[in-house]
């Protein structure tokens, strides 16, 4: 629109200037009148053409805005693939209109429309991924709940049908029911935990001696490791007085999960090595085992909720399937990240850093 207004101003200035020149040159009045009429006609025709093009452009913009508005209704139909495809086509159309547009104002409008379509495409893509993950998560939760519930139901039905009077089996069925009840309790607690973490749970950070915390966790798991004949060693390369800034309960949960997993997947006679080192003002904690290892193709997915490398064996060993996902969330809330290196048959190492 700015270009058209400038053009109007130029035509007016030319008209006034030419008229003054004609008057100063003592041009006959009839000639001046004819000139004015011709100029007015030319001015009207040119303005009409320019404004017609502008109206055409604004109509096109309104049409694009209507299309964007239709695609922005995320809940309507939920047909994300088609919406994303149509938005990509619309983006290319806007790009062509912007390239061929000389008016600066319209060009700027097309640029903003292009940015809007890009952002909307990203939002729709993220929403699609979120919906897929949510459905997968709900399916996994239902699957994880079904196994212990069915086992408890079967044990109780067996007891009701007469096994409760048989001293040889009644205690066994009660123990099975209790075991699966404990699994349900663990699963529900981990679900609550991960929901709080994903909602941005606030941590209670303070300075603490990390070597002391690790020793405390190792001692609490000593009975389990001994029963499985797995040795746990520590290699502290930092002073015992060295402190890190973290949430004590959260990091204790991280160490419990990592060491407990290492014990479960390390065969008898194996060893777990926990190391603390200092690098560039950051303390790194490593948990390495000599267990079965993780296939390379599975490593990118092990932090996903309920993902299991060996599904049958993992469920037999217990656990909710949320442990590593909880670990990842806790470490990220400490503005750090956890890495994993593993070779099948040789073992696995998890490593993360904490600020001093």
C-alpha closest to that of 156 among 133, 174, 135, 171: 174
DSSP per-residue string spanning 236-271:
E-S-TT-EEEEEHHHHHHHHHHHHHHHHHTS-TT-E
- For residue 153, give the nearest of 177, 183, 186, 188 by alpha carbon: 177
Give the separation between CA 298 and CA 307, rounded to whole angstroms. Answer: 9
Classify residue 157 by its DSSP letter. H
3-state secondary structure at position 80: helix
Domains and CATH numbers, the chain: 205-355 (3.30.565.10)
Q: What pLDDT shows up at residue 284?
A: 96
How does strand 271-279 pair with strand 231-236?
A: parallel
Of 229, 208, 222, 343, the residue nearest 285 (C-alpha):
208
Q: Which residues pair with 184 in a beta bridge?
A: none
* Pick from 329, 352, 330: nearest CA to 340: 352
pLDDT score at 187:
83
Q: Count each helix (H run) and each strand (E run) in the chain, helices first.
A: 10, 7
pLDDT of residue 260: 92
pLDDT of amino acid 242: 93
Cβ distance 315 to 151 under 8 Å?
no
Query: According to the model, what pLDDT value does residue 164 have?
Result: 86
Mean per-residue pLDDT pooled into runs of 10, the chain (356 residues): 52 59 57 58 57 60 65 58 79 78 72 79 77 73 82 90 86 89 84 79 89 94 92 94 93 94 91 94 94 89 78 54 88 92 92 92
- Cα 121 to Cα 88: distance, rounded to the nearest angstrom: 8
Q: State the CB neighbour count (10 A cutoff) for residue 227.
A: 9
Task: Return the pLDDT at 328.
Answer: 92
How far is the C-alpha of 278 from the C-alpha of 284, rounded, in Å?
Answer: 6
With H, G, I as helix, E, B as strand and everything else as coil, classify residue 55.
helix
pLDDT in the model for residue 16: 59
Predicted confidence at residue 2, as pLDDT, reads 47
């Amino acid at each position: 629109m700015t270009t058209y207004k400038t053009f109007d101003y130029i035509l007016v200035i030319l008209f006034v200037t030419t008229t003054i020149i004609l008057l100063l040159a003592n041009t006959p009045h009839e000639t001046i009148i004819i000139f004015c009429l011709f100029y007015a006609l030319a001015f009207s025709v040119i303005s009409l053409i320019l404004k017609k093009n502008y109206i055409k452009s604004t109509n096109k913009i309104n049409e694009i805005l209507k299309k964007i508005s239709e695609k922005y209704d995320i809940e309507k139909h939920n047909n994300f693939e088609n919406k994303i495809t149509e938005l990509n086509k619309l983006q290319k159309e806007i790009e062509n209109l912007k390239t061929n547009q000389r008016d600066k104002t319209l060009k700027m409008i097309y640029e903003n429309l292009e940015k809007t379509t890009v952002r909307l495409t990203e939002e729709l893509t993220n929403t699609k991924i979120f919906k897929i993950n949510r459905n997968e998560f709900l399916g996994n939760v239902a699957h994880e709940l079904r196994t212990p519930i069915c086992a408890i139901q079967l044990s109780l039905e067996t007891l009701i049908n007469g096994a409760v009077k048989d001293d040889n089996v009644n205690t066994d069925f009660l123990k099975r029911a209790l075991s699966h009840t404990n699994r349900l309790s663990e699963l529900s607690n981990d679900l609550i935990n991960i929901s709080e973490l994903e909602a941005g749970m606030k941590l209670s950070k303070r300075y603490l001696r990390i070597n002391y915390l690790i020793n405390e966790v190792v001692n609490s798991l000593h009975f389990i490791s001994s029963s499985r004949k797995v040795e746990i060693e520590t290699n502290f390369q930092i002073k015992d007085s060295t402190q890190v800034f973290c949430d004590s309960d959260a990091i204790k949960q991280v160490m419990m999960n990592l060491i407990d997993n290492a014990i479960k997947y390390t065969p008898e006679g194996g060893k777990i090595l926990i190391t603390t080192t200092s690098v560039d003002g950051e303390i790194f904690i490593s948990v390495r085992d000599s267990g079965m290892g993780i296939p390379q193709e599975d490593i990118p997915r092990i932090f996903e909720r309920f993902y299991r490398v060996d599904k049958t064996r993992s469920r037999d060993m217990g656990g909710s399937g949320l442990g590593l996902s909880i670990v990842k969330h806790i470490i990220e809330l400490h503005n750090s990240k956890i890495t994993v290196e593993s070779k099948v048959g040789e073992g696995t190492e998890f490593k993360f850093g904490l600020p001093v």
